[in-house]
Each structure stands twice: as structure tokens, then as C-alpha cells.
């Protein structure tokens, strides 16, 4: 190519390195260092057989905070002290958890008078984290109007202050490797059934949206999906592993999966919540 040809060469805009890429590179490097720190904490927690509260504080919450930091209107919350409002507790004729590769379990909502032993013993064992959606101005106005008409002034199934005015599209239950996976799924089932019952009590013409749940066992993270089917809630467990805190590859897989959930929460779930309140 001659000098004249080079001088007259038109370079498409997409071939130029954008100015903000330098900032983006720095952000990626900073994120990588945080991931290394979290990975080191997970290695130590495994080696020292640390308890659930240590895992939550030193590994799980920092990871959730980093994963959802790209979404200014989403916030992970530790909710181990949250209690389910009694009116929203589910009932169950038969609730079973299966380790099959594809299974489902059901919880019936709306009657707290019938509990199996498993459900009764899990009723006050709370889940560990929730993802809270911070309303924009329009959604906040709709929620304020709605809450003023309610006996229980909460958009969720709990009067825990951090969640009364922030919808929760995701609940997370964690266990150490020695914890019970069955009990973990029961606790998630109770929480999401209570959440759906709270929605059902509103009387909106808009159907409830299926939501993801996350079950953590030691280093390994799985997602479960829950849907409302009139008088029962079905958990579809396909043992979908979304990453782990045991390896660098697993950490990046987990970050990517959580950000997909974050994008869904900040777009589809937010739009659904607006329509849900408009349909009351």
C-alpha cells in the first residue's frame, strides 16, 4: 500500500479502540483482584471447615456484591433475621426433595394450619440472602399507593425493613458441605411459596412471574426455578450448576450467571412488577 493510499484509507469507526476501554480495562483488572481475594477466602474456608456464617460473610456476600455491582438499582441483602408474615406461610400435603436430574416439588399456599414435620421445623429457619430491586421513581409511587392500602405494609412476604419496599426477585440459601441439601431446598420452597402467596393475596389480574432460586452447597452453586400454579408452587430442579468458588474458571462462570439473573431482574422483572401493580 502506497503512502497516498494509506493517507486516504477510511477506517470504520468500530475498528477504533474506544476511549472508555482504558477505564474498562482497569475495571476488569480490579474485578480480577477481588475475585482472587474471594477465591482465597473460599480455599481457607474449605480447609478450616468454617461454619455457614463465616462462608456467608467472607465468601458469598462479597461475591454477590461484586456480581451485582454493575446494576445500580439492585442490591444483595443478608436476610437471616427476616421472618415470614404468618398470613403468607404455605401449607403442604406432601413436599419432597429429589436428587434426580430433573424433578419437581410442590407446596400449597394459603393455609398455615397444616404442616408436615419437615416444614414445621423449617418454618423459622430463614434463607440467607435476597436480591432487592430498588424502585425507580415511577415504580416507587405505585408501590407507595399500594402499600397504604395493605394490612401488612410490605411488597414481599416479610416485614424485614430492607425488603418491605423493595421487591425481591431472587432468594438464596447457603449450606456448608456438611449441611442438608434437602433441608436447604425445603427452606427455599417455603420462602418462595410464601412470596407467591403474598402476591396472590394482592388480587392482581397479572399472573405471577416464575422466579429463580439459588442453592449453595459449600463451593458449588445451583439454580432452581419456581412457578405459581394457582393453589400450589412448583419447584423445577434440573440441577443446573452455574459455577463455583473452588476455581478461577468456576468463579467467572458464576459471575456471568449471576449477571444474567441481574439483567433479568433489572429489566423483565421490573417491567412485570410495574404491570402487576397496575393490574390491581
Go through 145-174 and write b for each residue having 16 or more CB atoms within 10 A of its CB, e for each that does not: ebeeeeebebbbbbebebbebbbbbbbbbb
Per-residue pLDDT, 183: 83
| HSE value, Cβ hemisphere, 13 Å, CA-based, for 207 | 9
Q: How far apart are CA 246 and CA 50, in angstroms?
A: 15
Backbone angles phi, psi at 113, to 5 degrees: -85, -15
Residues contacting residue 72 through CB under 8 Å, at least 6 positions apart: 134
Per-residue pLDDT, 4: 63
Q: How many CB atoms lie within 10 A of CB 46?
A: 17
* Total length of the chain: 280
* Bridge partner residues of 150 (DSSP): none
Using only C-alpha atoms, the chain has a radius of gyration, in whole angstroms, of 22
Per-residue pLDDT of the chain (280 residues; tens, 9 = 90+): 565 654 565 656 655 555 556 678 899 999 999 999 999 999 999 999 999 999 999 999 999 999 999 999 999 999 999 999 999 998 764 343 333 344 555 655 544 333 343 454 445 568 999 999 999 999 999 999 999 999 999 999 999 999 999 999 999 999 998 766 678 888 999 999 999 999 999 999 999 999 999 999 999 999 999 999 877 889 886 679 999 999 999 999 999 999 999 999 999 999 999 999 999 9
Cell numbers linked to 46: 474449605
Per-residue pLDDT, 256: 98
Q: In sequence order, what E strands does the chain have?
A: 74-78, 90-91, 103-109, 129-133, 170-175, 211-217, 220-229, 232-244
Per-residue pLDDT, 101: 41
Amino acid at each position: 500500500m502506497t503512502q497516498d493510499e494509506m493517507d486516504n484509507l477510511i477506517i470504520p469507526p468500530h475498528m477504533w479502540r474506544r476511549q472508555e476501554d482504558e477505564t474498562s480495562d482497569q475495571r476488569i483488572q480490579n474485578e480480577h483482584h477481588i475475585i482472587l481475594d474471594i477465591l482465597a477466602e473460599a480455599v481457607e474456608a474449605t480447609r478450616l471447615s468454617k461454619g455457614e456464617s463465616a462462608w456467608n460473610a467472607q465468601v458469598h456476600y462479597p461475591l454477590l456484591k461484586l456480581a451485582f455491582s454493575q446494576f445500580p438499582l439492585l442490591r444483595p441483602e443478608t436476610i437471616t433475621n427476616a421472618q415470614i408474615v404468618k398470613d403468607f406461610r404455605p401449607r403442604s400435603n406432601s413436599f419432597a426433595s429429589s436428587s434426580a436430574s430433573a424433578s419437581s416439588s410442590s407446596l400449597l399456599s394459603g393455609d398455615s394450619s397444616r404442616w408436615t414435620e419437615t416444614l414445621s421445623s423449617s418454618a423459622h429457619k430463614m434463607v440467607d440472602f435476597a436480591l432487592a430491586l430498588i424502585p425507580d421513581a415511577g415504580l416507587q409511587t405505585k408501590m407507595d399507593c399500594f402499600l397504604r392500602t395493605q394490612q401488612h405494609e410490605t411488597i414481599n412476604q416479610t416485614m424485614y425493613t430492607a425488603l418491605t419496599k423493595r421487591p425481591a426477585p431472587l432468594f438464596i440459601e447457603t449450606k456448608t458441605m456438611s449441611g442438608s441439601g434437602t433441608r436447604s431446598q425445603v427452606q427455599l420452597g417455603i420462602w418462595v411459596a410464601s412470596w407467591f402467596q403474598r402476591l396472590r393475596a394482592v388480587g392482581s389480574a397479572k399472573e405471577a412471574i416464575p422466579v429463580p432460586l439459588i442453592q449453595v452447597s459449600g463451593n458449588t452453586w445451583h439454580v432452581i426455578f419456581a412457578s405459581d400454579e394457582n393453589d400450589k408452587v412448583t419447584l423445577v430442579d434440573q440441577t443446573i450448576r452455574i459455577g463455583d468458588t473452588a476455581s478461577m474458571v468456576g468463579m467467572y462462570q458464576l459471575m456471568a450467571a449471576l449477571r444474567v439473573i441481574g439483567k433479568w431482574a433489572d429489566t423483565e422483572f421490573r417491567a412485570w412488577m410495574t404491570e402487576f401493580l397496575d393490574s390491581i
